[in-house]
Amino acid sequence: MSATSRVLRSFAFAAVSSGLFLSACGGEAASAASAEDAGDFVVRPALLETDTYTELAQQLSEDRWLEDVADTLNASLKLPADIGIRFAECGQSNAFYLPGEREIQMCLELFDGEREVFAAYFETEQEIEDAVAGSFHWTIFHEVGHALVDVLEIPVTGREEDTADSLAAWWLIDGEGGEASTISAALSFYTDPSQAGEIDDSQYAGYHSFGQQRYYTLACLVYGSNPDGYAYLLEEEWLTEERAQYCPADFERLSASWYALLAPHLKE
């Protein structure tokens, strides 16, 4: 893959709009078996162990990073119980869904970790910040995927991690501007520092697909959602010809599958 900054600059970040497609699909939802609406995504206060992230957590709260995501989800989905979302100081650049607490924790360390990854790709501070924001949005929707599998008892027939990836990709790509977030996440996976060098057994035994596989799957779904609009992914070898021929059908099937699985839980 030729990682030219010209190509990377074309991945301009577009904010994830609050008007995602799901609320526009109420007709289908209304005809499906109705599910109980007894819960919401609820933003909880940041869990801080030290003073390191006090200011960052305050700023993120003022800028409604979690609140806007919760509003988007609550406008679209009926839940049988509340699902918490919060920032947390975790000691690692990561994010988690905790089934016991029914809570998504987005680590505050993610921001520094992702900034480091994207600094190798982008030239300007704005490009780096946009990519960090895009990757953050993709990551939170990945955790939402885990939460929906748990709370809505969404069937999983492969790795749950792949299912969570697919929910995030579908939701963002089908929404407005989410392709850029998906591409940012894909780039972050491509250069996952934990998978640099030799691959050992613990990585083969891991829960996730390899970072580079996740990269190609996400690039494939973005391309497949609009082959003309994202032709450069193929032309500039961000995706292989062999894989690309299956991508439109892959995206179509993924989209139909998630609509079917979530139909009883969509608001009108």
Q: Which residues bind Zn ion (CB under 5 A)?
A: 161, 164
Q: How far is the CB of 142 from Zn ion (least distance, A)?
A: 6
Minimum distance from residue 165 beta carbon to Zn ion (Å) = 8
Q: How far is the CB of 211 from Zn ion (least distance, A)?
A: 13
Burial class (CB in 10 A: 0-12, 13-18, 19+), 158: exposed
8 Å CB contact between 11 and 183? yes
DSSP tag of 42: E
Nearer Cβ to Zn ion (45/100): 100
Measured from the CB of residue 25, what is the shortest distance to Zn ion in angstroms?
A: 26
Question: Look-up: residue for tokens 């030290």?
Answer: 50
Min. distance of Cβ 148 from Zn ion in angstroms? Answer: 12
Question: Are 43 and 105 a contacting pair, CB within 8 Å?
Answer: no
Kindly state the smallest distance separating residue 188's Cβ from Zn ion, in Å: 14
| The pair of three-digit structure tokens given for residue 97, joined into one six-digit string | 């869904």
**Closer to Zn ion by Cβ: residue 144 or 164:** 164
Nearest Cα to Cα of residue 140 among 70, 53, 235, 58: 70
40 or 161: whose CB is closer to Zn ion? 161
CB of 96 to Zn ion, least distance (A): 8
Residue in 49, 44, 122 with CA at minimum distance from that of residue 87: 44
Place of tokens 């390191």: 52
103-107 and 83-88 as β-strands: parallel, antiparallel, unpaired? parallel
Helices (H), ranges, 120-265: 125-151, 160-174, 178-190, 201-204, 211-225, 231-235, 241-244, 247-262
Tell me which amino acid residue 189 is: F
Identity of the residue, 128 or 166, whose beta carbon is nearer to Zn ion in the bound complex: 166
Residue given tokens 């987005």 in the structure block? 106
Closer residue to Zn ion (CB): 9 or 159: 159
**Of 161 and 250, CB closest to Zn ion:** 161
CB of 208 to Zn ion, least distance (A): 7
Residues 6 or more apart whose CB falls under 8 angstroms from that of 256 comprise none
Whichever of 130 and 188 has its CB closer to Zn ion, that residue is 188
Measured CA angle at 7 (ends 6, 12), to 5 deg: 95
Q: Which is nearer to Zn ion, 76 or 163 (CB)?
A: 163
